[in-house]
Structure 1
């Protein structure tokens, strides 16, 4: 994390719905999910991870004109103490943490709520190693889960078959809601896919990993791969990535990983690796650099840095 610039990444945010007793519960909007999260007092919006050596917590939160801004921090007790040096003078010092202290990091997150509640929200996330979107998801989903205790009725849905319970009331089932981030494809990758030549998609499952493959058990299965390609490989498909993403998401319960293989318009072979549940690897997600700051930036804030926030909100306004 440089003191004069920041990287930010682009995602879509949606809310999934799951139930142990009903196969197709109705999801809620991003707006509703964050209304439920706000029921949890801000000092309780926390989650311990890494065997409780790291604490994720919300430091600042506001909603204004359809924009949700959040400052997320991580206090890390397990990280090594930072060392500072002046090699020319052979000087070296360690900034040691005391017993309960953790080294702190923070990221700003801005969310533009959609006009249509059925659509995902646009999210721009400040980058910080060790505090990426999937760590952020752990915290947001914990807060959403904690809201269950404060408004249980919002986490129940009436069974659509019209069944009633023993007291004659409509039968209901419990629903678990979770946030999902989908990375926006980078401009470079989109160009390469749209102007290159698609070769194949490999869907990979490790469901039967370590299953014996010979009579003696010396050879075991590592994974299974399903290879897909176009019916006509010479056909130029518009919005190829969107089509691929829909296919991969549809198969994510059966296949945990995917590889997209294609040739660029200059003839280079490329392979894009994906986790079917988590989406694009960070290297392929759309990003922007924020610079032009008049002061050095800190690695952690306890309240919003309004300059960082303003630059991120400006990027939101540029997106259609």
Structure 2
């Protein structure tokens, strides 16, 4: 991307509830989730990764009406020092990091809360390599988890069977809440799958704990793959058929890999999340360009011009 351009991706945000006690706890509204996140002090809205080499954190946050603006940063100690050159003059300069410093990147996020609290929120996320939607999701989930320590009663629900304790009080069980982003599927993916030739579909499940295959535990099972076959004859609405299969299998298989040939003959492979049936390369996006100044790779406060352009995209949908 040019220094005066940015890509913005479209997502829906909903809140998922889970519990070790009960299989189907009641989720909370998106608005309530952000109210809980705001309980966590700004300086503590962060998440470490890669054994501390990476830190994801919130550097700016503003809630106005039904719009929540968030600036998410990533500080990465593992990236090599950048080198700048002028080949014609044979000049070379390395910008060396100090021991505790990490190279910083940031993305602007705009959340539009729904008029109906039960619906998903519309979210626009600025594109940045290494700071994508799943990194943002993990950070927000960490903040939502930390809020549990500050307001634990909001993370308790009455048991659905109406059970009571020895004192006759209704039993409660602990619940955790997590953000789930679902990409807006672009028309390109639907068109390519409906009109192209699908070569293979694989459903993949990855385990949190590896299973030993040999006696010494040297060889371990990391994931299982279910390979699907398709009929040779043409079928209408292939995309919707595939989507329905993913939805049915999402509890058993977290990812899917599709290999296909586009209508123009280009071989493609996409890895999709079965939970939201999206592939990053096919998520709806919008290019913002013609900024009158160079955009930075990292901000510690909102870039007002960029933020307003993103809000304009929301207004154009009203």
TM-score (norm 2): 0.87
1: CA distance between counterparts of 2:78 and 2:277? 28
Task: Give the Cα–Cα distance (whole angstroms) in 2 for the partners of residues 33 and 311 of structure 1.
Answer: 26
Aligned counterpart, 2:126: 126
**Cα distance change on mapping 1:228 and 1:297 into 2, 3 Å:** same
Residue by residue, what CA displacement relative to the aligned partner does 1:205-239 show, whole Å, maximum 9, x if unpaired? 46698758xxxxx9x99844242658x954523xx
Mapped partners of 1:53, 1:195: distance in 2: 44
Q: Is the 1:209–1:223 Cα contact (8 Å) retained in structure 2?
A: no
5+ residue gaps, structure 1: 213-217
Q: CA deviation at 1:68?
A: 1.0
- TM superposition shift of 1:105: 0.9
Cα deviations by residue, 1:147-196 (Å, 9 ceiling, x for unpaired) = 10111111111011111112221100101111111111123212223445
Name the residue aligned to 1:32: 32
Aligned residues of 2:200 and 2:227 also touching (Cα < 8 A):
no
CA–CA distance in structure 1, aligned partners of residues 286 and 122 of structure 2: 15
Change (3 A) 1:211 1:95: same
Equivalent position of 1:288 in the other structure: 286
Q: State the 1:107 CA deviation.
A: 0.5
Supply the distance in 1 between the matched residues of 2:59 and 2:206 (Cα, whole angstroms).
39
Q: Distance in 1 between matches of 2:114 and 2:233?
A: 37
Would you say how many aligned residue pairs link Structure 1 and Structure 2?
311
How is 1:164-243 mapped onto 2 (pairs within 5 angstroms)?
A: 164-196=164-196, 201-205=201-205, 211=213, 223-227=224-228, 229=230, 234-237=234-237, 241=239
- For the residue of structure 2 that corresponds to 1:51, the secondary structure is helix
Cross-structure match for 2:16: 16
Q: Give distance in 1, aligned partners of 2:75 and 2:259.
A: 39
Task: Give runs of aligned pairs for residues 1-320 of structure 1, distance below 5 A.
Answer: 2-196=2-196, 201-205=201-205, 211=213, 223-227=224-228, 229=230, 234-237=234-237, 241=239, 244-260=242-258, 264-265=262-263, 271-277=269-275, 279-319=277-317
Structure 1 residue 198: deviation in Å?
6.4
Question: What is the rounded CA distance, in whole Å, between the counterparts of 2:213 and 2:305 in structure 1?
Answer: 55
Query: Aligned in 2, Cα 1:184/1:209: closer, same or farther, shift over 3 Å?
Result: farther
Q: Secondary structure at the match of 2:180?
A: strand
Cross-structure match for 1:215: none
